[in-house]
Structures are given as structure tokens and as C-alpha cells.
A and B are shown apart, each in its own frame.
Chain A
Amino acid sequence: MKNIMIAISSLMVVGIAFLIIIYESREPLLSPEAKLIKTPQTEGISEPEKQPLEAIKTSSDLNYSLQNNQLHITYDNGEKWNEVPIEMDQLFAGEYQGNRQELIGGSYEMTEELVAFLYSEGEDWQTQTIKITYTEDKGETWNESVVKDEALAMRFRKLNITNDGFWTVIFTFDRTMSQEASAIYLSNDQGENWQIISTPDSTRLVADGSFVDQNTGFMSYGTINPEAPTLYVTNDQGETWEQAVFNMPNKYEKVFVIARAPPIKEKDHLELIMEQGPNGDYYRNGLIKAKFISTDNGHTWEFVEEVEPENEKMG
């Protein structure tokens, strides 16, 4: 009994010594609020850890990621990632006010056969080189194509590759308030040579633009308080542009005001989606859209139906 008690007492004395050492060397507890404040500071000091890449879905089967400050693409839902040799700053150069969580809409094309990114390069915003970097062998090799040297920083940008291998780049630049210049470049030889074509006679802000085939292209204008859609169409590769006519039912006057290219080319007609614009408040907080069709290559458009955003197949 005596020995047992002495043994337990000795253990307890040693135990207390250990407890004191542990207690004194512990990390102070933090409230949830203090943890939040402390986290960014420590992150700033240490080297940021590389995160496992998470795919951002696109409309095609291919996905991309912008994590770890680098653009990667995957053909197999993230099993294997290919690094794209473009710097993040180049992808978002120009007039861009997003959070860099996703690529700028229209600045890329992703299909199984061809992946291409439109971006601008250059230290000075007044002498940018507008380029396309693309791969045709699933990211094994990358090619560069210069669309334009010594360009101004882009605002709106759109890379469009038609099914018949016809490439177009539409971009706007030099914006002052609600006016800006626009340019359209075409290539028939997969980016080898680029040729500038004329644009519609308008300096309003471009809402969208695209070509459905080698000859037929559209430019949609008006992003700030438009009252009616302004869509220009060409059927001769930009030689001449004409303003398209919309046969709008009365109840939709001043409701659907921005035509979103690209129109979809169906068998015997073209289809496009019209939006309500930034001030739209017609049904579902301006989210509902309208479908129009044209049977004369985009010159006149007829209203077909309202389109729920979730049922939208195009645009």
C-alpha cells in the first residue's frame, strides 16, 4: 500500500511537471473572428501552397482552371492537366473589371479538335500585341498567331471559329465614355494571315459580334440603356453592313433591347437570343429572354417565343 501510494504520488508529481510544460507551450486559442484576421497575414508571409486544380466547366466537354495563377486545360475532367503558355495578366489585359475567377467570355474557343485563347501582350497599354495561342493536339504543342501589332488595350473581345475553319477576332478599343472604336479581323488559314475588314458605321459600345460563316457576320451595339436592339449584318465579309430589322410585338417594345450574337445557323434560318439589357425588369427580374428567327440571312427577324434562362440553348 505504502509503495503503491508513493509510486502514484511520484507519477503525479512528474505528471504535473509535464502538464505545466504543455500548458505553457500551447498555442493561444483564437475566436472565429481572430482566426479570420490572422489567416491572410500568415498567408502573406509564407509561400502560397499550390492548390489542387478544380475544373471550371465550359459549354464543351473541355474544362479549364485558373488556379495557382496559371491557365490549365483538361480534356478528361481533371485527370490530366495541360499548362497553357499564357500569363494570367495577358488573359485579362485591357478593360476588364472582373475578379479573374473565370476567363473573359468570348476570349476562348474550346473544342476537341482546337483550343484557342485570345489575349493581348505588352508592357504599355497603347502598344499591345493581340495574339491567339492555340493547340490542335490536345495541349502537346502550342502555336502563336499575331492578330495585330501595336494595338490599343481591348475592351470587348471575341474569338470565333466557325465549323468550316474560318477564324474571326472582333475587339473594341479606345473607349471614351460610351463611345469606342471596333475592329474585325478574319483569317482563312487558321491564323497564319489576318485581314482587317470594315465595321459598321457606329461608335456605340459593342454588345456582341460574330460570324456564322465566311460571309455572314453580325455586330450588336448598345450596352448602356438601349431602347431598341441595334444589330448590323453583313453578307459579303464586311464589304457592306446593314442594320437588321426586328419585327417586335408591341408588348415587347423597349423590353428586349440587346441582340446577343452569335446567331445559330439552322437548316433554313438563323436564330438569335435577345436580352432585356441592364435595366430590364420584365418578368423574373429581367432574366427572361426572347428568341427571334431570320429566313433572309439576318436582315429581318421575327419574334418566336420567350425563353427561360435555363432553357436557353444558345447565346
Chain B
Amino acid sequence: MKKWVKRMGILTFLVTLVFFCLQVCSLIVQYIYQAEYIDDRLFYLFNMVIVTFLGISIFLMISLNKKFITLITSIIVILISINVYLMYERNQEIKNITNLSPNGKEVFAIKKKRETGEATYYRSYFKLFGRPHQEVPDAIDRVGNLKWLTDDIAVLTYMDKNQDIQQFVGTYGDRRMVRPIIMSVVTYAGSGKEEIRKLPLIRMELPSCNRATIIFLTGITYNNLEH
């Protein structure tokens, strides 16, 4: 066996081990810290990575006869198929809205039940895990634009079941002390921008909401809807 092939084999095997440990940790973390993957699809994706890399490492490091190659290939295909199916099913049930901040330090995450529109905002930890932090008021009917205003403020525009445009603001870093707030634009009756240009109503107040803050957030609303 060529040396580089062996090295590649060991490397892929180690990658497999790392991902496997990560998967085990994700379940432990859930039970101890009530946290889970920030995006549900990651669990299935990592399973597929494990299976694929494990197969590659076996093929690279062990010389197998045709029968074994067929067996291992079949197992890999079956496991990947199962994970693809489960990921699809999960995605039909829960819509994951995740977005990385421009500086790559924060993750905005909302998990929405497709059937009811109920959505939960997640606080991210290590970019990979998240804990349910707050229920998004007003069930989401359609998800609109997600925009990072700064590296630590993200605004999600969405339409609720009453076809009113709502905005959810996620804050990170030092701004975590400020609760995420919800803003509501007066009823969105038509498609014309003029109708949306009405003053937004602050639905939940910031703990120390001052005039400057309100004006600033009003600006967010216009900005988001116009683009």
C-alpha cells in the first residue's frame, strides 16, 4: 500500500471519529444543557459525513474482495438513504431559518413548525448548538428577508397569519442584555410600498427604550421592506 494512501486512510478515519464523537456529544448536550444543533439538518448531514468517510477510510486502508466491497457499499448507500429520508421528513415538519453574521461570529436561528407557523428563536452557542430562547410572537406564515444590520443585530421580516408584516430582531454579543424585540407594521393590505411606509408599532418595548432606539428601529423596518 502506498504511503499517501495509508495516510489518507488514517486521516479520513480520524475525521470519522471526530464527527462520531460530535454526534454523541450533541445528544449528551441536549440532556444536560437543553441545547441541540442550531439547525436540525446538521445531525443527518454529519451522519452522512461519518458513513462516507468511514467507507473511504476502509477502502483506502483495507484490501477487500468483491463480496465485501459490495456489502460495505450497500451499507453506506442504505445509511445515507435513511439519513436523506429522515432529513427530508424533518424538514417537512420544521423549517430551519439560520444565518451566519457577516463577521462569522454569530448565528441567527429560528425553528418554525410548518404546520402551525409557531416559531422559536434560538440562542446560539459555539455556532453549532442552540438553546430555545423565546417564542416568536405571531405565527409565521411566510418568511421574508433576513438582514444583518450590524454584526450583532439581525432582523427577520415575516408575514403572520393575518397577513400583517412583522419583524423579529435578534441581538447578540454585548447587545444580548437587550431583549430581542418584535416590531409590527400596520396591516399590510396591498402590495404597494406606500402602504407599508406607515409607522411601525413597537410591540414589545426594550428594557430601556428611548426615543433614539425607536427611531433607529423604525429605520430598520423601512430599510428591510424596501430591499
Contacts and interface: CB of A to CB of B under 8 A. Distances in A.
B5 interface: no
A177 to B, nearest CB: 40
B134 A33 contact: yes
B30 A16 contact: no
Contacts of B121: 31
A29 B132 contact: yes
A12 B133 CA distance: 33
Interface of A is mostly: helix
Contacts of B86: 20, 24
A267 interface: no
A33 B54 CA distance: 42
B206 interface: no
Most A-side CB within 10 Å, residue of B75, B86, B120: B120
A24 B43 CA distance: 11
A13 B27 contact: no
Nearest to B120: A31
A12 to B, nearest CB: 6
Contacts of A37: 135
A45 interface: no
Nearest to A3: B62
B170 to A, nearest CB: 14
Contact of B30 (A15, A20, A29, A30): A29
A283 interface: no
A20 B54 contact: no
A2 B62 contact: yes
A164 B109 CA distance: 73
A5 B58 contact: yes
B223 to A, nearest CB: 28
Contact of A6 (B34, B62, B132): B62
Interface in B29-66: 30, 34-36, 43, 47, 50-51, 54, 57-58, 61-62
Interface string A5-48: 11001001101100110111010011111100100000000000
Contact of B27 (A12, A19, A30): A19
Given A22-B27, A29-B36, A12 B134 contact: no
Nearest to B54: A9
A31 B47 CA distance: 27
Contacts of A5: 13, 57-58, 61-62
A129 to B, nearest CB: 50
Contacts of B82: 20
Nearest to B10: A5
B75 A30 contact: no
Interface stretch (B16-24, B95-103, B140-148, B181-189): B16-24
Nearest to B132: A31
B20 A34 contact: no
Given A29-B34, A29-B131, A12 B20 contact: yes
B214 interface: no
B159 interface: no
B125 to A, nearest CB: 13
B79 interface: yes
A299 B80 CA distance: 95
A255 to B, nearest CB: 39
A23 B54 contact: no
B3 to A, nearest CB: 15
Contacts of B35: 29
A103 B134 CA distance: 39
Contact of A16 (B34, B47, B120): B47
Contacts of B20: 12, 15-16
A160 to B, nearest CB: 51
A80 to B, nearest CB: 40
Contacts of B134: 31-33
Contacts of B51: 13, 16
Contact of B135 (A13, A19, A20, A31): A31
Contacts of B61: 2, 5
Q: Which 3 A-B pairs have the closest CB atoms?
A: A31-B132, A33-B135, A29-B132
16 contacts: A2-B62, A5-B13, A5-B58, A9-B57, A12-B16, A13-B75, A13-B79, A16-B20, A19-B27, A20-B83, A24-B86, A26-B27, A29-B30, A29-B36, A32-B134, A34-B135
Given A12-B16, A30-B120, 4 more contacts: A2-B61, A2-B62, A5-B57, A29-B132
